[in-house]
Amino acid sequence: MILVTGASGFVGRHVVRELATSGTRVRAMVRTARGASVLEGIDCELVRGDVTDPASLRAAARGMRTIVHLVSIVEGSPATFERVMATGTGNLVEAARETAVRRIVLMSALGTGPGATVPYFRAKWAAEQAVSSSGVEHVVLRPSFVFGTDGGALPRFLRIARLAPVTPVIGPGTQRVQPIWVSDLVRAVALAVEAEESGAPVELGGPEAVTWSELWRRLKVALGTRRPALHVPFWLARGPAALFERMPPALLTRDQLRMLEGPDNVVTDGGASMRRLGLGDRVPLDEQLRRAVASQ
């Protein structure tokens, strides 16, 4: 039986559905009744739990063979990132040890590493360290941007491209991203549950790496709009970001600006770790955008 944490999130509900449909017995951990409601109709066992509550984690992990750990946040104070993602993963590792869990599959992120300064990436790195030093079998997955029709950043990008008189591109638009479709990410999770343990993280991205300018151009082509793009310098975007981050759900935060200013968010191993995992063909970017537009 597999425990999925963060089961009610964008990626989590896709993972739970895929595992359950394949015949795997799944225990889905949620924090609230509202979280449980998004899993309605999926054949899974629901359990209340919170990564900041070690006792609830021990109860959720009891009897599990594998934990797929998906709990993550994208905005908040540095202390909140630390409490939920770093300390929370440490709590999960302790629960796994105490309940004899054999494997942890951790969802991390491209962009993290020992020198990470952005709170999100720093917390992801701390989570990786907690899992890799746990003594429990583990596989670490590091995806680029995850695209889908029902969550993540892509629906927001679509609204902006459709409704804004000009398309705001933060910075020069030359940084590259490598979006992966959510169903491909879910396949990677399923493969990681059964794969041989690997010490190196698995870097995950779609078939194409593109600049932000090119991504916005293709998105507008998929929408059939010709609205012009407007490049907003990073320094000019910081003021609005400071305002937006006080109005949840935040359109943009200063931490996210720092992430955009950073290195390319693309796989660095030429896809070797994806091939090692067994993840072959993935949904091309233009097809990702077509599916997203068709779902609106």
Domain boundaries, the chain: 2-143, 147-180+206-265+282-296
User: Model's pTM, two decimal places?
Assistant: 0.95
Tell me the C-alpha distance between 6 and 16, whole Å.
10
Is it the case that residue 107 has pLDDT exceeding 90? yes
Does residue 89 contact residue 127 with C-beta atoms inside 8 Å? yes
Answer with the residue of higher pLDDT: 248 or 204.
204
Domains 2-143 and 147-180+206-265+282-296 share a fold: no
Per-residue pLDDT tens for 132-181?
Answer: 999 999 999 999 999 999 999 999 999 999 999 999 999 999 999 999 99
The CATH code belonging to domain 147-180+206-265+282-296 is 3.90.25.10
- Closest to 255 in 3D by CA, of 146, 123, 137, 57: 123
Give the pLDDT of residue 130.
97
Does residue 30 contact residue 49 with C-beta atoms inside 8 Å? yes
Is it the case that residue 242 has pLDDT exceeding 80? yes
Does residue 165 contact residue 227 with C-beta atoms inside 8 Å? yes
Architecture of the domain spanning 2-143: 3-Layer(aba) Sandwich (3.40)
pLDDT category of residue 58 using cuts at 50, 70 and 90: very high
Does residue 119 contact residue 82 with C-beta atoms inside 8 Å? yes
Percent residues over pLDDT 70 in the chain? 100
Give the pLDDT of residue 247.
79
